[in-house]
Amino acid sequence: MADHFRITLAQLNPIVGDIAGNAAKARSAWEQGRAAGADLVALPEMFITGYNTQDLVQKPVFHQAAMDAVRQLATDCADGPALAIGGPWAEGDKLYNAYLILNQGRIVSKVFKHHLPNETVFDEVRLFDAGPLGGPYAVGNTRVGSPICEDGWHEDVAETLAETGAEFLLIPNGSPYFRNKYDIRLNQMVARVVETGLPVIYLNMVGGQDDQVFDGGSFGLNPGGALAFRMPVFDEAVTHVDLQRGEQGWTIVPGAVAEQPDAWEQDYRAMVQALRDYMAKTGFSKALLGLSGGVDSALVATIAVDALGAENVRCVMLPSEYTSAASLEDAEAVAKALGVQYDYVPISQSRAAVTETLAPLFAGRRADITEENIQSRLRGLLLMAISNKFGEMLLTTGNKSEVAVGYATIYGDMNGGYNPIKDLYKTRVFETCRWRNANHRDWMKGPAGEVIRPSVIDKPPSAELREDQKDSDSLPDYPVLDGILEILVDRDGSIADCVAAGFDEADARRVEHLIYISEYKRFQSAPGTRLTNRAFWLDRRYPIVNRWRDRG
């Protein structure tokens, strides 16, 4: 029997629906594995279609095209190592999430996912049929077990594979990022090692897909749970991993262990990567946003520059008579520090024209939030016009605190195609700005050093839609608001939980009410980077019409 086995792990970034492009990436990885003398080249879960496909995978012409592409890959990759690739597979009236093993010109083995996740961003119970508990597949005379993603989080699949002769586990994943998820993955995989006594190789994809970001960080664990190698987070990488057989069975030959950045860096990288991929995969190369002088738009501008480069970002100041001199100075300073194009488009004249047009209809009624929102909607109108004229995607800049309680104007400052900070609470916005000022990485296209000056971060937040307006006029202070939101939204807690945590009951009830009545705004809001497992969209699906309130 062989005492050495080489796997080429392809931690790559597919595009949903680009079956030909994904197949080309798979062939390139296979060629690298062949050149390196690999026995097996492995790609992540559902790689041939990209992931998460949502309902697209159920379209027969789509999954048949994916199956045909896998068959063609088998033919193209006949002379060399085996190739393992994830994709949909239909048999009879059933559709499976499959891991397909190609060798010598044909599909020699099929593994069907058994445990279908049906929570947070996953709807696999409605998309796929559950496969049976199966055994390992053979590559030469070595038997490999491949629980697919969720199957690796359940002991029954791994134990069945071990009992039926698997010599190590190769687990292909489409596992999206949320904050501190690596530790959860690692703990789960250590459990599989302890239960089976087998080495585990965890292979994940990278790249942004709508709101989700796949963060890579593929790794291997030896019997006993020791970390054998770790690939980079968020970066595409092809790595050759060796296993050797000894008296106690197979072990992974130790390799490079990539640095694991802290949560602040990973969140920021996720926002940059999500925007970069969303733009590229939807066909946009340039972005624009309204730069108000406030902290949210400053952070989004910085993320955009780090994702796309300063030459591909336009910032527009749209002042009214309520825009302070400090905001004008701060916005210009941020634009200069980032090196972006900076345009100045006052809205006072347009606002006066709209006010005059509506005056006969509004006669006898005092000015209120309606007039404030006209300003925001004029800005949205003008920014969308610029977007249309120059083919630049408009970015929206509302943080999670504002998105949660509806502190934003629909068809106004909510206009846009993508929102990088949609899942970032305001208190984290402040700290993320400070982190970016103090840190620079080679994956950032923007300049090093202080790009968001302290006056932007430290001044009291304001929408500047009326004289001397501050966010605290309408909302609890952000540390209080975010603390309540973290309980009610992120932890699905109650009013009683908020009170037990030291928050005022009246504040908690008011925030809860604002969350519920703002659902219609979120339903129409732009997608944004998912940083937690309670992001607004697929993680949290609530009715728009909803009269329930926590009366306990």
Looking from the CA of 344 toward its CB, the CA atoms found within 13 Å total 7
Region 22-42: mean pLDDT is 98
How big is the chain by its Cα radius of gyration, in Å?
Answer: 26
Region 376-400: mean pLDDT is 97
| 473 compared with 211, residue with greater pLDDT | 211
pLDDT tens digits for range 33-85? 999 999 999 999 999 999 999 999 999 999 999 999 999 999 999 999 999 99
Region 297-303: mean pLDDT is 98
**What's the DSSP call for residue 321?**
T
Is the torsion defined by CA of 521, 526, 528, 534 positive or negative?
positive
CA distances from 468 to 328, 460, 461, 465 (A): 15, 11, 11, 9
pLDDT reported for residue 332: 96
pLDDT reported for residue 229: 98
Catalytic site includes residue 372: no
For residue 504, how far is the Cα from the chain centroid?
A: 34
Catalytic site includes residue 181: no
Region 529-537: mean pLDDT is 95
CA distances from 200 to 135, 151, 181, 220, 303 (A): 16, 13, 18, 6, 36
Q: How far apart are CA 99 and CA 103, in angstroms?
A: 13
Q: Which of 25, 45, 286, 426 is catalytic?
A: 45
What is the three-class DSSP state of 181?
Answer: helix
How sure is the predictor about 472, in pLDDT bands with cuts at 50, 70 and 90?
confident
Region 324-335: mean pLDDT is 94
Q: What letters, b where the CB count within 10 A reaches 16 and e where it falls short, cover 188-204?
A: bbbbbbeebebbbbbbb
Region 213-225: mean pLDDT is 97
Looking from the CA of 378 toward its CB, the CA atoms found within 13 Å total 22
CA distances from 525 to 168, 298, 386, 415, 458 (A): 45, 20, 20, 8, 28
pTM over 0.85: yes
Region 259-277: mean pLDDT is 97
Average pLDDT score over the chain? 96
Please give the CATH architecture assigned to the domain spanning 4-251: 4-Layer Sandwich (3.60)
Region 463-479: mean pLDDT is 79
Asked if pLDDT for residue 116 goes beyond 80, the answer is yes
pLDDT tens digits for range 482-524? 999 999 999 999 999 999 999 999 999 999 999 999 999 999 9
- Tokens in use for 544? 């728009």
pLDDT tens digits for range 160-213? 999 999 999 999 999 999 999 999 999 999 999 999 999 999 999 999 999 999
How sure is the predictor about 471, in pLDDT bands with cuts at 50, 70 and 90?
confident
Residue 326 phi, psi dihedral angles, 5° rounding: -65, -40
How many percent of the chain have pLDDT more than 70? 100
How many percent of the chain have pLDDT more than 90? 93
Asked if pLDDT for residue 364 goes beyond 90, the answer is yes
pLDDT reported for residue 223: 96
In the chain, CATH 3.60.110.10 sits at 4-251
Superfamily of domain 264-470: HUPs (3.40.50.620)
Q: Which of 77, 149, 315, 498 is catalytic?
A: 149
Helix (H) or strand (E) holding 311: none
What is the three-class DSSP state of 208?
Answer: strand
- Tokens in use for 333? 């300073």
Amino acid at 402: E
Contacts of the segment 500-507: beta carbons below 8 A, 24+ positions apart: 504/480, 507/476, 507/480
How sure is the predictor about 247, in pLDDT bands with cuts at 50, 70 and 90?
confident
Q: How far apart are CA 466 and CA 456, in angstroms?
A: 19
By DSSP bridging, strand 237-246 and strand 212-215 are unpaired
Q: Which of 25, 77, 113, 286 is catalytic?
A: 113
Region 112-138: mean pLDDT is 94
Q: How far apart are CA 32 and CA 41, in angstroms?
A: 9
In the chain, CATH 3.40.50.620 sits at 264-470
Are 182 and 148 in contact by the 8 Å Cβ rule? The answer is no
Region 234-245: mean pLDDT is 98
Note the residue count of the chain: 552
Q: How far apart are CA 78 and CA 100, in angstroms?
A: 14
SS3 per residue for 363-380: CCCCCCHHHHHHHHHHHH
For residue 244, how far is the Cα from the chain centroid?
A: 36
Q: How far apart are CA 151 and CA 160, in angstroms?
A: 11
pLDDT reported for residue 1: 59
Measure the N-to-C terminal CA separation of the chain; round to a whole number of Å: 67
Catalytic site includes residue 265: no
Describe the crossing of helices 263-282 and 426-438 by its angle, rounded to 10 degrees: 90
How sure is the predictor about 289, in pLDDT bands with cuts at 50, 70 and 90?
very high
97: β partners:
88
pLDDT reported for residue 479: 96
By DSSP bridging, strand 82-91 and strand 40-42 are parallel
pLDDT reported for residue 468: 73
